[in-house]
Amino acid sequence: MYPFIARRLLATIPVLVIVAVLVFLLLRITPGDPAAILAGDAASTEQIEGIRKTLGLDQPLPVQFGIWALQMVQGDLGESYYYKVRVTQLIAQRIEATFSLALVTIVVAVLISVPLGVIAAWRFGGWFDRFLMGFSVFGFSVPVFIVGYLLVWLVSLKLGWLPVQGYKRIDAGLWPWIQHLVLPAITLSVIYIALIARVTRASVLEALGEDYIRTARAKGLPESKVLVKHALANAAVPIATVIGIGIALLIGGVVVTESVYAIPGLGRLTVDAVLARDFPTIQGLILFFSLIYVGVNLLVDLSYVVFDPRIRY
């Protein structure tokens, strides 16, 4: 297993290099000048050119990339054009909010979706199964921001149960932290509940048709034990895969959800950086997200050994 982990970690290097090159080039060829945005509408051409020179944007693209790549290798993602602080510092300041939202979302999604998928497979063709399939269509079809605004209107504005927007750090207290995460987590978890529940249903349903399930039932085992210990356990690999994909896809969902609920996390930072054409911040965030994506995929691959001992690396 250790050689496999080493190979996967080494494989992340060319992936991150390709991502870095593509992001760098795409940002430079898209319309918009960071110097003009920073200078303001009333700035003269000379002022804009002075800002470009200060930021190093007057250098040829290979020189700009070389300077940035050298800093990146040393663990320095550069200084933000807009915030005037190091990008690593910006990420460190915002990472708690994003990771808190992602953690609560995936926990809620898994705790709800896996039992729903197992019950739907057990009651295949019944009303619960049809209900879950209908909910899956709803979860896939309705955009995240629509769900978010509906929940804000109903739960916060009409009922007054939870805060409308904002975020409280966990050191401010567990209850305020949870209060500000409940609505965003529910909003973001809808699509993942639909995705994981549907895959769980399909995988468990396939397992229930196998010979070992009939053998387990013939031995007189309780139905709950047959479902959990035999059917769900043997369907765990595809479920683990889709949960891993869901964690990686949280990156995109967090951007929208943090904007709706005004959460000062990495998603909100990404939106602000794009609007400000803040090249170092955008590049640093995309590299950071790419590293998380690769790490999650590695953990999912390693989990296969736990769920299915027949798999060896």
Question: Where residue 265 sits, what CATH number does that domain have?
Answer: 1.10.3720.10
pLDDT digits over 77-99, tens only?
Answer: 888 888 888 888 999 988 888 88
User: How crowded is the C-beta side of 38, counted as CA atoms within 13 Å?
Assistant: 22
Q: What is the DSSP string of 176-217?
A: HHHHHHHHHHHHHHHHHHHHHHHHHHHHHHHHHTSHHHHHHH
Report if residue 286 sits inside a domain.
Answer: yes
Q: What are phi and psi of 65, to 5 degrees?
A: -65, -40
Domain match, 150 and 218 both: yes
For 77: left if phi > 0, alpha if psi spans -120 to 50, otherwise beta; the answer is: alpha
Domain match, 18 and 129 both: no
Domain match, 134 and 267 both: yes
Give the integer Cα–Cα distance in Å for 237 and 145. Answer: 31
- The residue among 143, 87, 95 whose CA lies nearest residue 281 is 87
Helices (H), 142-173: 144-151
Contact 266, 285 (CB under 8 A): yes
Question: How large is the greatest C-alpha to C-alpha distance in the chain, in angstroms?
Answer: 85
Mean pLDDT for each 10-residue chunk of the chain (313 residues)? 74 81 81 74 76 78 84 82 87 89 89 90 86 85 84 86 84 85 89 89 86 82 82 83 80 77 86 84 86 82 74 64
CA angle 252, 255, 260 (to 5 degrees): 135
Report if residue 85 sits inside a domain.
Answer: no
Domain match, 188 and 259 both: yes
Report if residue 36 sits inside a domain.
Answer: yes
Residue 115 is part of which domain span? 90-307
Q: What residue has token string 């930021």?
A: 55
Q: What residue has token string 């057990």?
A: 122
Report if residue 84 sits inside a domain.
Answer: no
Report if residue 82 sits inside a domain.
Answer: no
Domain match, 94 and 239 both: yes
Domain match, 243 and 169 both: yes
Report if residue 81 sits inside a domain.
Answer: no
Domain match, 185 and 108 both: yes
pLDDT digits over 195-236, tens only?
Answer: 899 899 988 888 888 888 888 888 888 888 888 888 888 888
Count of domains in the chain?
2
Domain match, 139 and 267 both: yes
Domain match, 271 and 163 both: yes
Percent of the chain surpassing pLDDT 90: 1
Report if residue 312 sits inside a domain.
Answer: no
Report if residue 313 sits inside a domain.
Answer: no
